């Protein structure tokens, strides 16, 4: 990777910075030396403020250290440039969280798609689950370019049709539900709701490893509808929810939740709500507590009189 970067920068190194090395070669430091150095730094896109800072700093250093040869100035310039390139502050994207969404915007030709590809590769190499969404549906070949970067980084790309509604891409209608599962934690009034979607035991283990001590919630949406491949004992203990909602269909043809899963919830003393029995479940989080109510219980006369 570093070899490729070095080769890509070889032309710049051999032209602009090669000229700087020529100016700071043999001979004494003169007014012409400073003028040439200033012009070449600006030509190299160092920027006017940084160029003026470098020239002023080098002038003071020449006076303080008694430098008089132009080749001595080259070493001083190198050290001053390195001093400017300090370690960047921590990027907020690096902070641990259950879900991170990054929207990349910019003018044409600024390197957005290339940067997206690099970020995707970086976070995939770190073991994170990365999904790219092609929201630029109007620029020619934008979707195809992002797909190519997705293939290079080996991450899925969600895309619609060229000229379509960019907002529609966010719904990922063509994605397989189990493959694109995510976890969402809602904090409100000091109370927490953990929405786990279709995760299974390996995903639960990954969450425990990545966010130790940060999964606690008052209410939880039961993982994978109560499938026996989810809701491990370690995960339930880490979340510690007093109440859980089981999202299963009214006909429930898969027979969820499974008996062994219900037994694990019973062992933790968790109160269970079932959408096939209670209907739509309303969850209210507030500072004074957590309130859940089932639609059918609120309309008991209608449902239980049938």
Distance CA 256, CA 244 (A): 14
Q: Are strands 289-294 and 281-286 parallel, antiparallel or unpaired?
A: antiparallel
pLDDT at 233 over 90: yes
Q: pLDDT tens digit string along 151-198?
A: 888 888 877 677 766 655 554 444 444 444 568 888 876 788 888 877
pLDDT at 21 over 70: no
Q: What is the mean pLDDT of residues 200-219?
A: 86
Kindly indicate the confidence band of residue 240, based on its pLDDT and cuts at 50, 70 and 90.
Answer: very high
pLDDT at 269 over 80: yes
pLDDT value at residue 285: 77
Fold category of 2-84 in CATH: 1.20.120
- Domain 92-171, architecture per CATH: 3-Layer(aba) Sandwich (3.40)
pLDDT at 27 over 80: no
Q: What is the mean pLDDT of residues 25-42?
A: 81
Q: Of residues 89 and 157, which shows the higher confidence score?
A: 157
**Domain assignments of the chain as residue spans, ordered by start:** 2-84, 92-171, 184-303
Distance CA 41, CA 178 (A): 54
Distance CA 75, CA 56 (A): 16
pLDDT value at residue 179: 45
pLDDT value at residue 77: 85
Q: Does the predicted TM-score (pTM) go above 0.75?
A: no
Q: How far is Cα of residue 132 from the mean position of the Cα atoms in its chain?
A: 10
Fold category of 184-303 in CATH: Metallo-beta-lactamase; Chain A (3.60.15)
> How many CB atoms within 10 Å of residue 120?
22
pLDDT at 259 over 50: yes
pLDDT at 225 over 70: yes
Q: pLDDT tens digit string along 108-156?
A: 777 888 889 999 998 888 888 888 888 776 676 778 888 898 888 888 8
Q: What is the mean pLDDT of residues 60-76?
A: 84
**CB–CB of 121/1 below 8 Å?**
no
């Amino acid at each position: 990777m570093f070899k490729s970067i070095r080769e890509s920068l070889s032309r710049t190194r051999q032209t602009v910075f090669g000229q700087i090395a020529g100016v700071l070669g043999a001979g004494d430091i003169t007014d012409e030396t400073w003028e040439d150095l200033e012009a070449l730094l600006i030509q190299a896109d160092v920027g006017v403020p940084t160029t003026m800072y470098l020239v002023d700093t080098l002038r003071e250093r020449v006076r303080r250290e008694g430098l008089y040869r132009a080749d001595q100035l080259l070493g001083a310039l190198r050290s001053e440039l390195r001093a400017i390139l300090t370690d960047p502050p921590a990027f907020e994207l690096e902070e641990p969280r259950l879900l991170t969404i990054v929207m990349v915007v910019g003018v044409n030709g600024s390197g957005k798609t290339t940067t997206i590809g690099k970020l995707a590769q970086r976070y995939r190499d770190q073991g994170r689950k990365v999904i790219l969404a092609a929201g630029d549906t109007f620029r020619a070949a934008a979707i195809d370019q992002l797909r190519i970067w997705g293939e290079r980084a080996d991450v899925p790309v969600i895309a619609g049709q060229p000229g379509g509604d960019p907002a529609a891409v966010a719904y990922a209608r063509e994605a397989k539900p189990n493959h694109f599962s995510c976890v969402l934690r809602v904090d409100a009034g000091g109370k927490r709701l953990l929405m786990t979607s279709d995760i299974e035991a390996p995903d639960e283990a990954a969450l425990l490893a990545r966010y130790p001590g940060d999964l606690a919630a008052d209410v939880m949406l039961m993982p994978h509808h109560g499938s026996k491949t989810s809701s491990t004992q370690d995960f339930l203990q880490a979340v510690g929810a007093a109440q859980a909602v089981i999202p299963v269909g009214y006909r429930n043809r898969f027979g969820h939740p499974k008996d062994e899963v219900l037994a694990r919830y019973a062992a933790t003393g968790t109160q269970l709500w079932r959408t096939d029995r209670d209907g739509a479940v309303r969850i209210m989080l507030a500072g004074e507590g957590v309130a859940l109510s089932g639609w059918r219980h609120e309309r008991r006369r209608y449902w239980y009189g049938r």
